[in-house]
Amino acid sequence: MKFTRRQFVALTGAAGIAALTNADAVQGAPQFTPDLDSFQQYKTPDWFRDAKLGIWACWGPEAVPEMGDWYARNMYIQGHEQYEHHLKTYGHPSKMGYKDIVPLWKGENWDPDRLMGLYKKAGAKYFCAIAQHHDNIDCWNSRFHRWNSVKMGPRKDIIGTWRSVARKHGLRFGVTEHLGASWNWFGVSKLSDATGPLAGFPMMALIRPMTSSITQATQIRIGRLGTAMLPRPTRSSGSIASRI
């Protein structure tokens, strides 16, 4: 079945709310299958209409430069402010790619319990966290690839921790995933500068080799791009829901 953009947005929006509901599902509540006809039967629950306020956290390696959540893409576009920031702070993206930013994401000051307390005090009734942004970094102990928050960066199950803390404070919990743009998001890393000493030279040709612990196939997909992008098996939001 082919979806229009409007249908896709409607479907994924319903899926997000359904994920919030799933953790505290009422016995006998309708179950859904991953198709448009099924989600068209979805009705917004009363608790969501009455909630008024919820918090969504978009937190991953892009937080390191503190320049916005599209940093992983824009850092490869000469002239963009995020490219200029990267050039001055870390060096040319052909030598210091996004894959090198990921290990700098430590989360050493992350205090989810304090944050959730503040959200609840502000009146939030539910909390959502980004499970995977367009950069393809999974914020849980993912079985899809090693580019996840447990095997690198903070080395913590971010989603699992958010879930536990949200439930501790009595908030509904949900996740969002953003694979829709991932397949071509890092395409700009194959470009080259239009001006300057590296003008015309593809960024991907300058990326330094990955460590020997990564397979040759992964080197091709990640190392040459200087990114953390990895093709993965097709999956639905249910695969993440099974982890939460």
pLDDT tens, position by position, 30-82: 688 888 898 888 888 899 999 999 999 999 999 999 999 999 999 999 999 99
- Residue 30 is predicted with a pLDDT of 67
Our CA angle for 113, 119, 125, nearest 5°, is 110
122's torsion region: left (phi>0), alpha (psi -120 to 50) or beta? alpha
Q: Are strands 172-177 and 126-132 parallel, antiparallel or unpaired?
A: parallel
- Residue 116 is predicted with a pLDDT of 98
CATH fold label, 52-241: TIM Barrel (3.20.20)
- Residue 83 is predicted with a pLDDT of 96
Cα dihedral 216→217→219→221 (10° resolution)? 170
More confident residue, 183 or 48: 48
Q: What is the pLDDT of residues 84-135, one digit of tens each?
A: 999 999 999 999 999 999 999 999 999 999 999 999 999 999 999 999 999 9
Q: How confident is the prediction for the chain on average, in pLDDT?
A: 79
| Residue 97 · residue 228 · CB < 8 Å | no
- Residue 71 is predicted with a pLDDT of 96
More confident residue, 217 or 144: 144
More confident residue, 185 or 223: 185
| Ranges in the chain annotated CATH 3.20.20.80 | 52-241
- Residue 231 is predicted with a pLDDT of 38
* Residue whose C-alpha is closest to residue 15's, from 38, 110, 26, 166: 38
The alpha-helical segments, DSSP class H, found in 2-146 are 5-22, 36-39, 46-51, 71-74, 81-89, 98-101, 112-121
Q: What are phi and psi of 148, to 5 degrees?
A: -140, 165
Spatial separation of the C-alpha atoms in residues 39 and 122, rounded to whole Å: 32
pLDDT-derived band at 28 (thresholds 50, 70, 90) equals: low
* Residue whose C-alpha is closest to residue 236's, from 18, 6, 5: 18
Q: Which range, of 6-20, 151-165, 216-230, averages the lowest pLDDT? A: 216-230
Instruction: Return the number of other C-beta atoms located less than 10 Å from residue 44's C-beta.
Output: 11
Altogether, the residues listed in the chain come to a count of 244
Q: Which range, of 18-22, 81-85, 214-218, averages the lowest pLDDT? A: 214-218
Please say if the pLDDT value at position 214 is more than 80: no
Cα dihedral 113→116→117→121 (10° resolution)? 180
Q: Has this prediction a pTM greater than 0.85?
A: no
Spatial separation of the C-alpha atoms in residues 200 and 188, rounded to whole Å: 14
- Most confidently predicted of 11-15, 110-114, 235-239: 110-114
